[in-house]
Structure 1
Amino acid sequence: MSVADEETALLGLAPVAPDRTVAYGPHPDQIVDLYGPWAGDGPRPGVARGPLVVLLHGGFWRAAYDRRYLSPFAAELAGHGLPVALAEYRRVGAGGGAPQTFEDVTAGIATAAREVPGAGGPVLVGHSAGGHLALLAAARPGTPVTRVLAVSPVADLARAHALGLSNGAVAELLGAGPGLPERIAAADPARRPPAGIPVTILHGTDDPDVPLDISRRYAAASPSDTDLRELPGVGHYAPLTPGTPSCRTLLGLLGVPHPPT
């Protein structure tokens, strides 16, 4: 698959309905979709239990993009016996932006953990802007998060803003005008990496949406428990597309022992 074909390949997949959806607030976007054997009243026999995986979607924090493109990946994980929560949150243009978006992610993670008791602290998997949100959530004091896997994350907000990524998406999220540099610093994972929480970053060398330099800068400024894995020839979407080699890499990092070929 060429880099140019990655977006069509992932976004062209049919959304997969969750086993259950729970709300964590009154806004329509304050919901979490649950996938897998523990989405109902109890575990199904004969399926191995794993850590709770909380997925955070991307889309440069804008309301035009929602969680559904990650639903095939959520179903893929659930098919391997992992309990999965695909979190939605308020986004720019529909009641979101800072601080609402950040507050929703924290609430969504807590709700997912309550709905899947006994799975241990959640593992966050965030894509693109969702990678930024995952890193930021893991840095909050008292977070229940045990690990972060960030795929093509917007992990250095200052650099992303300087590059004008997605026509000024960082300023849209945080609000343009006086004080923006301070707001960027307060919400920048590169300034506030999670303390004591392992972080793995997967980033394609040919990503046209979030340059690899963003992740390299984050890794250079982060503690030694940050592991940057560069995916040669990969763009922005393949690691979340079931069946691709880079998706099999991600599955392996989540403990799936023998991903399908």
Structure 2
Amino acid sequence: MTVLPHRYGDHPDQFLELSLPVDPGPAPVAVVLHGGFWRAAYGVELARPLAADLAAFGYAAVAVEYRRVGAGGGWPHTLEDVAAAVDSLAGLPQVDRLDLRDVTVIGHSAGGHLAAWVAGRRRLPDGMPGAGPSVPVTAAVLQAGVLDLTAAVEQRLGDGAVVDFLGARPAESPERYAAADPVALLPSGVPVLCVHGAEDDVVPVDQSRRYAAAAAAVGEQVEVSVVPGDHMAVIDPASDAWRTARTWMTRRRTLGA
């Protein structure tokens, strides 16, 4: 496996790491977005183990770093960075190794929010951060994701992390929530799996269920898999929770769905 760093901007945190599989042909792409409640205390090191595992299973895996709250991030910069990182894949020197017709975005916790947002960003109006994607995603795996931001504010997830991220409460800036909240960007038009630990006391399973219910309300089916384990179990490459996600990805590719 080869790991190649690439910059998609000038800020120190605007970079991605591409892990290529051994097979030299074009590979399906898996973009891994780490969590940490959008805060600078947590970084791309959380994404690297999953990227390495995915590369070993034949994916061109992309671990993304981005600006976070406390280090130049928050609204709108974090969203702009994630969108720019995904769109930059088409310009990588190794683009011939990437099958950009098959791009799965995977995210944990706040990264789950970002993954769901990326899946739905085609619905954003012109002028909003992330609008007009040039590299669309074809599937999403949301691991213990923060997927309903208004509910997350009410639940005070991450000790007010959503308000810190967007710089306002929902009533103070409804336009920011409309542009950043995954439930507001449904239907995404792509297959989605939510994986959530039954014992998660950081982001409640209710967040995945709310997202699935919002999708169903607009005629889209989102699969929710509640698995044994806590908030971090879903990003342990040796866990059943991660195998559930990877098996879903493999099955989707096999069936061509």
Q: TM-score with structure 1 length normalisation?
A: 0.83
Structure 1 vs Structure 2: percent identity of aligned residues?
43
Partner of 1:238: 233
Structure 2 SS opposite 1:248? helix
Among candidates 64, 67, 82, match of residue 105 of structure 1? 82
Structure 1 SS opposite 2:160? helix
Partner of 1:135: 116
What is the CA distance between 1:18 and its match in structure 2?
6.6
Question: What letter corresponds to residue 221 of structure 2 in structure 1?
Answer: D
RMSD between aligned alpha carbons?
2.1
Asked if 1:200 is matched to 2:193, the reply is yes
Partner of 1:23: 7
Question: What letter corresponds to residue 119 of structure 1 in structure 2?
Answer: D
Partner of 1:161: 153
What is the CA distance between 1:225 and its match in structure 2?
2.9
Among candidates 94, 97, 120, match of residue 100 of structure 2? 120
* Larger displacement relative to structure 2 (114-123 or 136-145): 114-123
Partner of 2:255: none
Structure 2 SS opposite 1:59? coil
| Residues 206, 196 of structure 1: alpha-carbon distance in 2 compared, 3 angstrom cutoff | same
**Gap regions ≥5 residues in structure 1:** 1-16, 38-43
What is the CA distance between 1:113 and its match in structure 2?
4.0
Partner of 2:73: 96
Alpha-carbon distance in 2 for matches of 1:31, 1:104: 9
Question: What letter corresponds to residue 181 of structure 2 in structure 1?
Answer: D
Partner of 1:6: none
Residues 155 and 214 of structure 1 are in contact (CA less than 8 Å); yes or no, is this contact kept in structure 2? yes
Partner of 2:205: 212
Residues 150 and 199 of structure 1 are in contact (CA less than 8 Å); yes or no, is this contact kept in structure 2? yes
- More strand per residue: 2
What is the CA distance between 1:224 and its match in structure 2?
2.4
Show CA shifts across 1:8-48 (max 9, x none): xxxxxxxxx971100000000000011123xxxxxx55x67
Alpha-carbon distance in 1 for matches of 2:248, 2:47: 17
The 4+ residue runs of structure 1 with deviation greater than 6 A are none
Residues 135 and 193 of structure 1 are in contact (CA less than 8 Å); yes or no, is this contact kept in structure 2? no
What is the CA distance between 1:60 and its match in structure 2?
0.3
Partner of 2:224: 228
Q: TM-score with structure 2 length normalisation?
A: 0.84
Question: What letter corresponds to residue 224 of structure 2 in structure 1?
Answer: L
What is the CA distance between 1:256 and its match in structure 2?
7.8
